[in-house]
Structure 1
Amino acid sequence: MGIRKMLIVLDCDRTIWNHHDATILKPPFTRISTEEIVDSRGERIRLNNGILRFLRYLKIKGHKIAIASWNEPSNVLRLIDMFNLRDYFDMIVVEPHPDKALMLRKILNELNMKSSNVVFIDDNPEMHRRVKKEFPDVLNMIYGEDIRDFNDALRKLVRLLGKPLRAYVALPIVHAESLEFNKRYVSMVERCGVDVVSKWVAGEIGEEKVYTPSDVFKRDISALEKSDILIADVSKPSHGVGMEIMYAYMRGKKIIATYKRGSRISSMIRGMPNITLIAYDALDELEEKLWKNIYKAFSR
């Protein structure tokens, strides 16, 4: 039996982001990083841990996502746009009253979903009480109590929502400097809503010494076989990465190859059928491109 399609309804204040009341914030807002915004008085609004990974995971799996927020709409909608979150949501309801049950009814009617297929995540126990009274079959999760953050939410909901895609990340392991890049690259791929099955590429430089070459080969091929997609950076030449790409191609895996703009890329890779090539200047820029290509490859 397949995974049933669910509707995940999220609160904003102290749920999607850490601030307790978006209505009291004073525009204009300034985005100081991909996950943090400051208002005109210096109040900081930061996305809560794991939210991007969680939203992207839900989109890849084909679930519906909505917002039900007790706020004046203007600040909330502005923050959603400045955090580049709007496209993740199938419906956004922001109203200046605490009747989350009423908001949920609007969402259910608009998206043609049943309450038995709803997961409601909010930090306020009173909101859960109101929703449960109206919709007793909704699955309620109190943010900060039932779940610590959205990585915890994914772990606890994985049986209901489905396992994340498995990505084999192929990167050269040459010297200590490359490991810092590899760690950032693996973290970026995970934020795209997938599980990385080859985390050793971001491990300690001495880690490979505990394996024989035969062990390394068997480990890598086994992980490749279990993966849904191979994501490789080909900015620098690597025999190992090239072999992994060819193996994935021969096994019919989806392949995304990234490279720093200006790098010399093998004609063999550039000419490979059905490979997706993504150029970038910096990893922060690459993340959004990578996520969109993963979603395009697997969206249903």
Structure 2
Amino acid sequence: MKIYFSGSIRGGRQDAKLYKQLIEEIKNYGDVLTEHVGSSDISHELSDSKIHEQDMKWLNEADILIGEVTTPSHGVGYEIGRAVALDKKVFCLYRRQNNKSVSAMINGSPSINCYKYSTVKEAQSLIKQIFNGC
């Protein structure tokens, strides 16, 4: 299975360590095409158009998109919207936070399965459930 992991890069790297932990769990179920999202050292060598081209190639190849959507990101929202348009399975994870809510466009979509979590272990358990149901 080819898996597209989506998480905020330019919107903030405060969750890079978390993304890496989630990606490590996801790798148990297939090939993560976007493993770099969990890296603390993101290369900025490619132009924006090359990044878009590369990411859309990976998204087209993917069987499923797993997104961590706690940190708002235009890019993540775009990727999710494109995945839905491509009729991909889409699952989003987000942390419970008192003063923040996930976008209604993501959480309210019938094409997107959203899951709240509090700890990394809980998120890893949700990932297991997602792939056991695929």
TM-score relative to the length of structure 2: 0.90
Larger radius of gyration: 1
Deviations 1:236-295 (A, max 9, x none): 110000000000000000000000013411111112123111110011111112211222
Query: Which amino acid in the other structure matches residue 90 of structure 2?
Result: I
Partner in structure 2 of residue 256 of structure 1: 91
Letter in 2 for 1:190: K
Any conservation in 1 of the 2:18–2:120 contact (CA below 8 Å)?
no
Equivalence for 1:5: none
- Match for residue 54 of structure 2 among 211, 219, 228: 219
Identity over aligned residues, as a percent? Answer: 27
Quote the residue 1:187 is aligned against. Answer: 24
1:280 corresponds in structure 2 to: 117
1:213/1:273 CA distance change after superposition, 3 Å = same
CA gap of 1:206–1:260, structure 2 versus 1, over 3 A, is: closer
Which amino acid is the alignment partner of residue 129 of structure 2? K
> What 5-or-longer segments of structure 1 have no aligned partner?
1-164
**Is contact 1:166-1:195 (8 Å) kept?**
yes
> Which 4+ stretches in 1 moved above 4 angstroms?
none
Give the equivalent residue in structure 2 for 1:235. Answer: 70
Secondary structure at the counterpart of residue 210 of structure 1: coil
8 Å CA contact retained: 1:257, 1:276: yes
Report the number of matched residues. Answer: 131
Superposition CA RMSD, Å: 1.5
**Structure 2: distance between partners of 1:176 and 1:232:** 15
Runs of 5+ unmatched residues, structure 2: none
Contact 2:9 2:37 survives alignment (8 Å): yes
Matched with 2:127 is 290
Task: Tell me how far apart the structure 1 counterparts of residues 125 and 18 of structure 2 sit (CA, whole Å).
Answer: 17
Give, in whole Å, the separation in 2 of the partners of 1:294 and 1:206.
Answer: 27
What is the 5 A alignment of 1:79-118? none
What does the per-residue CA deviation read over 1:24-83, in whole Å, with 9 as the maximum and x for residues that have no partner?
Answer: xxxxxxxxxxxxxxxxxxxxxxxxxxxxxxxxxxxxxxxxxxxxxxxxxxxxxxxxxxxx
How many Å separate the matches in 2 of 1:217 and 1:274?
Answer: 23
Give CA-to-partner distance per residue, 1:173-215, whole Å, 9 cap, x none.
Answer: 1455332222112112113x222011121234341x1100001
Distance 1:271 1:177, change over 3 A: closer
Q: Is the 8 A contact 2:69 2:93 kept in 1?
A: yes
Q: 1:225 offset after TM fit, Å?
A: 0.2
For the 8 Å contact 2:107–2:113, the answer to whether it is kept is: no
Q: In the alignment, which residue of structure 2 is the partner of 1:178?
A: 15
The higher relative CO (CA closer than 8 Å, separation ≥ 6) is in: 2
Contact 1:179 1:205 in 2 (8 A): no
